[in-house]
A = this chain, B = another copy of it.
Amino acid sequence: MKNYAVDGPILALSGGVGGAKLALGLSHSLPPERLYVLANTADDFEHLGLQVSPDLDTLMYTLAGISNPETGWGLKGETWNCMQALEGLGGEAWFRLGDRDLATHIYRTASRARGATLTDVTVNLCARLGVTVRILPMSDDPVRTMVTTDQGELSFQHYFVREQCAPKVRAIRFEGHETGKPGAQILSLLKNPDLAGILICPSNPFLSIDPILSVSGLADAIRESVAPVIAVSPLIGGKAVKGPTAKIMKELNIALTASAIADHYGDLLDGIILDQDDAHAAPELEARGLFVGITDTLMQTPKDKTRVADYSLGCLQALRAGGNG
């Protein structure tokens, strides 16, 4: 039996909106020094000369308590005067950047131009926004999601925002993943003998978690970690809460089931947390040797988020105690 690290750090793998909900819940239950959020940066892109990191920003804004509660992304009380003027000038306006949000991209772009890494910039932005949880970009190198569709290959934001996920997905690849190295601190954190748990947030497995796992050496380091790995299923009653998860799974001929999610993550997982509406999948998953947690995973209110976080932390702690790292 491995060492029982009740006070060790927790690493959460997250994309944007969906993952940020659980990250926020975790931040309510853990002291900031125990929580690390490993963020997808494969949606990052240069737009209008600015370096935009949508998932990092959603996580920062959410954890800073300044995100737009209606959309889950962007800032609350945002204004859109620059975009409106840009549209008037005939500029590209399909990707909406709010006036205050623009400051983040301008700051990031200027800092990067002066040689700061994405990790450095994120540390500085978090400090200024009062985010004490450590948000770790999956890589400081460009790893980019490319979506092969019935309309040809599209970069992620062209697929996701400009085309509103309308094209049919045939395949997804992560450009640069073989050469992109894991961001600073990530590998040492994964090697930390006190690491208490790794939680895969209920983000889109194909578009938000897979890019993280694609970064060279990162999935292996997770497998080799002493910490148990649990995924929170993004499905509720065989449906996706939000976003294109269900549509993409259908297009990739993957069944909309918790078992399919578990299959997808494969031997990375020690356990999976299902929504109560998917409890019927538990026996089959347990038969494979997986720990299966069952709870109400819908996160709407702050209370929901803290509850799912607490439940997940409980599962990780129990697995860690049981030596399932």
Contact = CB atoms under 8 A, between A and B. Distances in A.
A305 to B, nearest CB: 26
A92 interface: yes
B91 A103 contact: yes
A107 B91 contact: yes
A129 B85 CA distance: 10
Nearest to A106: B48
Contacts of A187: none
Contact of A82 (B84, B89, B102, B113): B102
Contacts of A88: 103, 128
Given A48-B110, A49-B106, A92-B110, A100 B81 contact: yes
B91 A110 contact: yes
Interface in A93-118: 99-104, 106-107, 109-110, 113
Interface in A56-111: 79, 81-86, 88-92, 99-104, 106-107, 109-110
A49 B113 contact: yes
Interface string A19-51: 000000000000000000000000000001110
A124 B90 contact: yes
A169 to B, nearest CB: 29
Interface of A: 48-50, 79, 81-86, 88-92, 99-104, 106-107, 109-110, 113, 124-125, 128-129
A81 B106 contact: no
Given A49-B50, A110-B49, A103 B85 contact: yes
Interface of A: prevailing SS: helix
Contact of A89 (B49, B92, B107): B107
Nearest to A127: B90
A109 B83 CA distance: 15
24 contacts: A48-B109, A49-B49, A49-B109, A79-B79, A79-B81, A82-B99, A82-B100, A83-B103, A84-B103, A85-B99, A85-B100, A85-B103, A85-B104, A86-B103, A86-B107, A88-B103, A89-B124, A89-B128, A89-B129, A91-B103, A91-B107, A91-B110, A99-B99, A102-B102
A104 B128 contact: no
Given A50-B49, A99-B99, A113-B49, A91 B106 contact: yes
Contacts of A125: 89
A290 to B, nearest CB: 43
Indicate the member of A49, A79, A85, A107 with the most B CB atoms within 10 Å.
Answer: A85
Contacts of A83: 103
CB-based closest 10 A-B pairs: A85-B103, A86-B103, A81-B99, A85-B100, A99-B99, A91-B107, A82-B99, A82-B102, A89-B128, A49-B109
